Amino acid sequence: MELKWSSEQLPKMNVRNNKGVTFLTYPVFDDMNWIVHGFSTRLGGVSQGIYSSMNLSFTRGDEESCVRENYNRIAAAMGVQAEDIVTSDQTHTCNVRKVTEEDRGKGITCPRDYTDIDGMITEVPGLVLATFYADCVPLYFADPVHRAVGLSHSGWRGTVQKIGAVTIKKMAEEYGSDPSDMKVAIGPSICQDCYEVSLDVIEEFKNVFDQKHWENLFYAKENGKYQLNLWEANRIIFMEAGIPKENISMPNICTCCNPEFLFSHRASHGKRGNLGAFLGIKK
């Protein structure tokens, strides 16, 4: 299976294969020996049919035993344990939760006692944050000075609410993180060529992004719809929050362009599983 990259000019993510599981990593985080991270693909799990094969969602109709085995497999491939994972409860908010030792395993080995959480941050070694995708934008954050990390889910609503900036501010408040020190990444998600939206969505973006950015964020089509660039929107949010542009890693891989390799809501018309973004601090 050949992976389609969105741009030959952008640095590619690394394709990893370990213990029969294929996942993606970022060179910038691979170079940080205190971090564990990855982004899952469809490959290497046990789920069947529309969930084939590495589905990480318990709520889309897949067999629970298959999803649990998938978690065990992706965790082992990344060198962690499934019981150390803490999961989000995504509802397209900009709520960011500080994750502590008491949260270990929530969403995997024990129930979550929180709702409406689209972003998480932690400084606890051994915890692995997990958020979920099938076209929306994963955002990764790492502070090498204070050894803290964050992971946030940013669909168009989260992008309009600038959850990337909210996460950076939360890390500054909780850990003293300075945006100028942080390394961040925009994860595999739907590219502008694949992401058609209506005028009401564009109006939301016009309300929160300066007009000088509009040309790079969207363009109108003859059918009255627009093509929206969530990658560029989140890159702008990062830079406006104080992240140096050279510290931002772009995805250059579209979920919708690679429906056999990655789950895509649009490409599958909603018949799909979920991908997972993972980020943690090694023990």
| The model's pTM | 0.98
Least Cα distance to 243 among 176, 189, 164, 188 occurs for: 164
CA max distance for the chain: 54
CA distance linking residue 166 with residue 168, whole number of Å: 6
Higher pLDDT, 11 or 112: 112
CA distance linking residue 16 with residue 25, whole number of Å: 7
- Percent with pLDDT over 90 in the chain: 95
Which domains are delineated in the chain?
14-190+243-281 (3.60.140.10)
Q: What is the pLDDT confidence band of residue 80, given thresholds at 50, 70 and 90?
A: very high
Tens of pLDDT, residues 137-168: 999 999 999 999 999 999 999 999 999 999 99
Tens of pLDDT, residues 87-135: 999 999 999 999 999 999 999 999 999 999 999 999 999 999 999 999 9
Least Cα distance to 66 among 79, 82, 54, 84 occurs for: 54
Tens of pLDDT, residues 167-223: 999 999 999 999 999 999 999 999 999 999 999 999 999 999 999 999 999 999 999
- Kindly state the tokens that stand for 49: 């049919």
* Exposure class string for 143-173: b at 16+ Cβ within 10 A, else e: beebbbbbbbbbbbbbbbbbbbbbbbbbbbe
Tens of pLDDT, residues 13-30: 999 999 999 999 999 999
pLDDT at 266 over 90: yes
Per-residue confidence (pLDDT) for residue 138, from 0 to 100: 98
Question: What average pLDDT does this structure show over 238-261?
Answer: 96
pLDDT at 3 over 90: no
Question: What average pLDDT does this structure show over 31-45?
Answer: 98
pLDDT at 9 over 80: no
Q: What is the pLDDT confidence band of residue 2, given thresholds at 50, 70 and 90?
A: confident
Per-residue confidence (pLDDT) for residue 10, from 0 to 100: 65
Question: What average pLDDT does this structure show over 224-250?
Answer: 97
DSSP string for the chain: ----BS-SSSPPPEEEEETTEEEEE-HHHHT-TTEEEEEE-STT----GGG-S----SSSS--HHHHHHHHHHHHHHHTS-GGGEEE-B-SS---EEE--GGGTTBTTTB--S--SB-EEEE--TT-EEEEEESSSEEEEEEETTTTEEEEEEE-HHHHHTTHHHHHHHHHHHHH---GGG-EEEEPSB--GGG-EE-HHHHHHHHHHS-GGGHHHHEEE-TTS-EEE-HHHHHHHHHHHTT--GGGEE---BBTTT-TTTS--HHHHTT----EEEEEEE--
Per-residue confidence (pLDDT) for residue 11, from 0 to 100: 63
pLDDT at 1 over 70: no
